[in-house]
Structure 1
Amino acid sequence: MSIARALGNAMSGLTATARGTETVAANLANAATPGYARREMAVSAQTAGGNAGGVRIDGVTRAVNASVLSESRLAEAARAEASTRLAFAKQIEDRIGIAGSTGGLGAALGDFRTALSSAASRPDDEIRLTQAVDKAQILANRLNAASDQVQAARSAADQAIAADVARLNKSLAEIAHLNRRIAVLEADGSDPSSLLDQRQGIIGEISKIVPVQEVTRPAGAVALFTAGGAVLLDGTTPTELSFTAAGQVTAAQTAGSGLALLTQNGAELTQSQMQLYAGGSLAANFAVRDELAPAVQALLDDLAFELHERLADPAVDGTLAATSTGLFTDDGARASLSGKTGLAGRIGINDAVVENAGGAAWRLRSGLNAATEGAVGDSTLLVAISAALDRSTLIPGTSFSGKASLTDRFGTVESLVSTARVNAQSDAAIRNSQADTISSRLAADGVDSDAEMQRLLRYEQAYAANARVIQAIQTMMDQILGI
């Protein structure tokens, strides 16, 4: 081998070790960077005239396990969906309360029943009558607050949908832009690895909103589809999604009637087409707004309606007519089955027993429509009201089945809400575990600092060997020139 060829081989080796050291440094520096893929330098022996000619750098590749990456994105979408559902379930349980807790609906009903019993034992005591009215007001307020919480959750979900759509459109535009830049770099023979990392990170964020599938296209581009098959990006122009937020959502508003669905490329999707975007935080927010929250509202409205009906019965209070308002009213009027939606948010106390509204607490003893105060020692009506609450019956028009007391009805709703939270928590735990497991598998294919240090030692040894060759050539040249 000639001195010139030996020098060329050593120089190519030094170049390769320098490039390899750069990849190791980049891997170690970005080990915790989201979307970063481990770099590996590909080398091969180059030949010159059929003889060995040193080392050729074939390029730097990104080590990515495509199948595990795809599983990770789907798992992250499921995690985001379960997390959103769990957050709603916790909010509702905290507001409605669980059996035996203070501050919940059941506790408010229990306090009202206790106050009625106390007033019935001393019907002449105005303070006890006033306390019973106050407890009735607190019960109505608790129902109002629970209904307000449900509608606040729907409004928040509506706003979250708008935010998800805005982030989705922005991210898809960025992916389309990166596709074009990557194509240019690959055409120039440059390394687009950093842009590929950036694109992978953005796709990871998209997958939390809606589960995505990535398909490789020519020139380094990718196409994105939802797990349900909707096209998000396939070409240079991404799908344009839009959504009009309603602002403050009311109980009467439903999807398609006051509340918008997704619009794709100018056309509003139908309920069945919305399944194309199932999974992820976007679908979870739609579920909260259009399914989960309305179901809770319906239960609250049933409770409010049954409470109203039990105490608006002329058989309980003889001063009432069939169309009279009872102790509990629908914003001052008698509640009707056709207007039951949202009743929990409107239910209140009849002004006839509220002193600040011109009423008198003694009407709780003598009758809501009584013109004059009756005998102060008469506890008949107070006992009848307590009995009406405790009576095992079935009020037509509600979703409850079988006969039960009002306390049992409240307990049923608290149990349903608590069970929904437990189920949501269990599902979230499963989704989190699955996502963490897949993330660990993905991390195993990522940067291993121990392996990178071993590679660095090999590069150091290769560098030293090539440097010794060059040093030996220099010594030989010095000796030749010294002859």
Structure 2
Amino acid sequence: MSIARALGNAISGLTATARGTEAVAANLANASTPGYARRDLVVSAQTAGGNAGGVRVDGVTRSVNASVLSESRLAEAARADAATRLDFATSIEDAIGITGNTGSLGSALSDFQTALTSAASRPDDEIRLAQVVDKATALATRLNAISDEVQVARTAADQAIATDVATLNTALAQVADLNRKIAVLEADGSDPSSLYDQRQGIISEIAKIVPVQEVTRAAGAVALFTAEGAVLLDGTTPTELSFTAAGQVTADRTAGSGLSMLSQNGVELTQSQMRLYAGGSLAANFAIRDELAPEAQNLLDDLALDLHDRLAAPAVDPTITAASAGLFTDDGARASAAEKTGLAGRISVNDAVVESEGGEAWRIRAGLGASTSGAVGDSTLLVAMSGALSEASAAATGTAFSGRATLAARLASVESQMATARVNAQSEAAIRNSQADTITTRLTADGVDSDAEMQKLLQYEQAYAANARVIQAIQTMMDQILEI
């Protein structure tokens, strides 16, 4: 081997070790960077005229396990979906509370029933009558507050949808732009690895909003589809998604009737078409706004109607008619099953017994429609009211209740359903978190291993030293030749 060839081989070896050291440094520095893929140096034997000619650096490759990455994105979408639903279920259960705890709906009902019993034992006591009015007001106010909490959750979900859609549009535009930049670098022979990392991180963020599948296209570009087949990006222009937030959501506003649906390229999707975007936080927020929260509101409205009807019956209070309001009203009027949507948010105590509204507390004893206070020792109405709440009565037509039950039992049923929804959501979230963590661990295992990288660094150090010795030997030989 000639001195020139030996020198060339050594220099190519030094060049390869330098590139390899750069790759190791990049790996160690970005071991925890989201979207970063491990860099591996690719080298091959360089030949010249059939003889060994040193080392050729073929490039630096990104090491990505595509199947595990895809699984990870689907798992993260499921995690986001479950977490969003759990947050809602927890907030509604907390708003209703547990009977016996201060501030709970069950405690408000219990306090009202206790006040009625106390007043029935001393119907002449104005303080006890006023206490009944106060506890009735507290019960109505608690129902109002829980109903407001449900609508706040719907409003928050509606706003979250708008945020998710805006994030999707921005992210898809970024992916399309990176596709173009990567194609330019690929054509130029430059290394686009950093752009690949950036694109991978953006796609992973998209996957939390809607589960996404990545398909490789020519020139390093990718196409993106939802797990159910909707096109997000396939070409140079991403799908344009749009959504109009409602501002304040109320109980009477539903999907397609006051509330916007998701639009794709200017065409609003139907409920059945929305399954194309099922799986991530976007779908979970739509479910909260259009399904879960309305179901909770319906239960509260049924409970409020049951409370209203028990004390608005002429059999309980002979001074009222079948058309007039009882102790509890629908914003001042008599409630009806046909217009019960949102009743829990409107229910209030009849002004006829509220002193601040010009009413008289003695009507609790004499009757809502009584013209005089009557006998102060007459507890008939108070006993009838207390009995109506404790009676196992049939459920009203058109409600979610069935069979015969007391008001307290119906409230317990609502509490149970809300608790069950929260437990189910919590269980689902635990499963999804476990799955996502397991897949993330697998993905991390395919990533940067600091021990392996340090081992590579030692090998590069040894290779560098060996090539440096060759150059040093050549230098010594050249010096000796020149001295001759």
Pairing of 1:357-376 with structure 2 (within 5 A): 357-376=357-376
Q: Could you tell me how far apart the structure 1 residues matched to 2:322 and 2:33 are? A: 71
- Say which SS state the counterpart of residue 456 (structure 2) adopts: helix
Pairing of 1:390-469 with structure 2 (within 5 A): 390-397=390-397, 398-469=399-470
Q: Could you tell me how far apart the structure 1 residues matched to 2:23 and 2:17 are? A: 10
Q: Could you tell me how far apart the structure 2 residues matched to 1:252 and 1:58 are? A: 65
For the 8 Å contact 2:395–2:403, the answer to whether it is kept is no
Q: Could you tell me how far apart the structure 2 residues matched to 1:313 and 1:383 are? A: 14
RMSD: 0.6
Q: Could you tell me how far apart the structure 2 residues matched to 1:102 and 1:303 are? A: 20
Shift of 1:295: 0.1
- Say which SS state the counterpart of residue 389 (structure 1) adopts: helix
Shift of 1:337: 1.4
For the 8 Å contact 1:301–1:343, the answer to whether it is kept is yes
Q: Could you tell me which residue of structure 2 aligns to residue 318 of structure 1?
A: 318
Q: What per-residue deviation string (whole Å, max 9, x for no partner) do you get for residues 65-108 of structure 1?
A: 00000000000000000000000001101101124333111111
Q: Could you tell me how far apart the structure 2 residues matched to 1:321 and 1:171 are? A: 62
Q: What per-residue deviation string (whole Å, max 9, x for no partner) do you get for residues 371-406 of structure 1?
A: 010111111110000000000011322210110000
Q: Which amino acid aligns with 2:460?
A: Y
Pairing of 1:301-312 with structure 2 (within 5 A): 301-312=301-312
Q: Could you tell me which residue of structure 2 aligns to residue 238 of structure 1?
A: 238
Q: Could you tell me which residue of structure 2 aligns to residue 22 of structure 1?
A: 22
The answer to whether residue 227 in structure 2 is matched with residue 227 in structure 1 is: yes
Q: Could you tell me which residue of structure 1 aligns to residue 125 of structure 2?
A: 125
List structure 1 segments (4+ residues) > 3 angstroms apart after TM superposition.
Answer: none
Q: Could you tell me how far apart the structure 2 residues matched to 1:380 and 1:15 are? A: 102
Structure 1 residue ranges without an equivalent (≥5): none
For the 8 Å contact 1:243–1:262, the answer to whether it is kept is yes
- Say which SS state the counterpart of residue 62 (structure 1) adopts: strand
Shift of 1:438: 0.2
- Say which SS state the counterpart of residue 404 (structure 2) adopts: coil
Q: Could you tell me how far apart the structure 2 residues matched to 1:92 and 1:55 are? A: 67
Q: Could you tell me which residue of structure 2 aligns to residue 348 of structure 1?
A: 348
Q: Which amino acid aligns with 2:473?
A: A
- Say which SS state the counterpart of residue 44 (structure 1) adopts: strand
- Say which SS state the counterpart of residue 405 (structure 2) adopts: coil
Pairing of 1:53-452 with structure 2 (within 5 A): 53-397=53-397, 398-452=399-453
Q: Could you tell me which residue of structure 1 aligns to residue 477 of structure 2?
A: 476
Mean Cα deviation higher: 390-399 or 75-84: 390-399
Q: Could you tell me how far apart the structure 2 residues matched to 1:400 and 1:417 are? A: 14
Shift of 1:31: 0.5
Q: What per-residue deviation string (whole Å, max 9, x for no partner) do you get for residues 258-300 of structure 1?
A: 1111100011011111000001000000000000000000000
Shift of 1:335: 0.5
Q: Could you tell me how far apart the structure 2 residues matched to 1:100 and 1:291 are? A: 29
Q: What per-residue deviation string (whole Å, max 9, x for no partner) do you get for residues 144-198 of structure 1?
A: 0010000000000000000000000000000000000000000000000000000
Q: Could you tell me how far apart the structure 1 residues matched to 2:395 and 2:325 are? A: 17
TM-score under structure 2 normalisation?
0.99
TM-score under structure 1 normalisation?
0.99
- Say which SS state the counterpart of residue 292 (structure 2) adopts: helix
For the 8 Å contact 1:182–1:219, the answer to whether it is kept is yes
The answer to whether residue 33 in structure 2 is matched with residue 33 in structure 1 is: yes
Q: Which amino acid aligns with 2:112?
A: F
Q: Could you tell me how far apart the structure 1 residues matched to 2:58 and 2:159 are? A: 50
For the 8 Å contact 1:246–1:260, the answer to whether it is kept is yes
For the 8 Å contact 1:239–1:265, the answer to whether it is kept is yes
Q: Could you tell me how far apart the structure 1 residues matched to 2:360 and 2:28 are? A: 78
- Say which SS state the counterpart of residue 81 (structure 1) adopts: helix
- Say which SS state the counterpart of residue 194 (structure 2) adopts: helix
For the 8 Å contact 1:99–1:415, the answer to whether it is kept is no
Q: Could you tell me how far apart the structure 2 residues matched to 1:191 and 1:91 are? A: 49
Q: What per-residue deviation string (whole Å, max 9, x for no partner) do you get for residues 226-271 of structure 1?
A: 0010000000000000001111011011111111111000110111
For the 8 Å contact 1:130–1:361, the answer to whether it is kept is yes
The count of corresponding residues between Structure 1 and Structure 2 is 483
Shift of 1:463: 0.1
Q: Could you tell me how far apart the structure 2 residues matched to 1:350 and 1:121 are? A: 23
- Say which SS state the counterpart of residue 46 (structure 2) adopts: strand
Q: Could you tell me how far apart the structure 1 residues matched to 2:298 and 2:373 are? A: 38
Mean Cα deviation higher: 103-112 or 73-82: 103-112
Q: Could you tell me how far apart the structure 2 residues matched to 1:107 and 1:428 are? A: 30
Identity %: 78
Q: Which amino acid aligns with 2:274?
A: M
For the 8 Å contact 1:8–1:53, the answer to whether it is kept is yes
For the 8 Å contact 1:98–1:418, the answer to whether it is kept is no
- Say which SS state the counterpart of residue 337 (structure 2) adopts: coil
Shift of 1:115: 0.6
Q: Which amino acid aligns with 1:421?
A: R
Shift of 1:359: 0.5
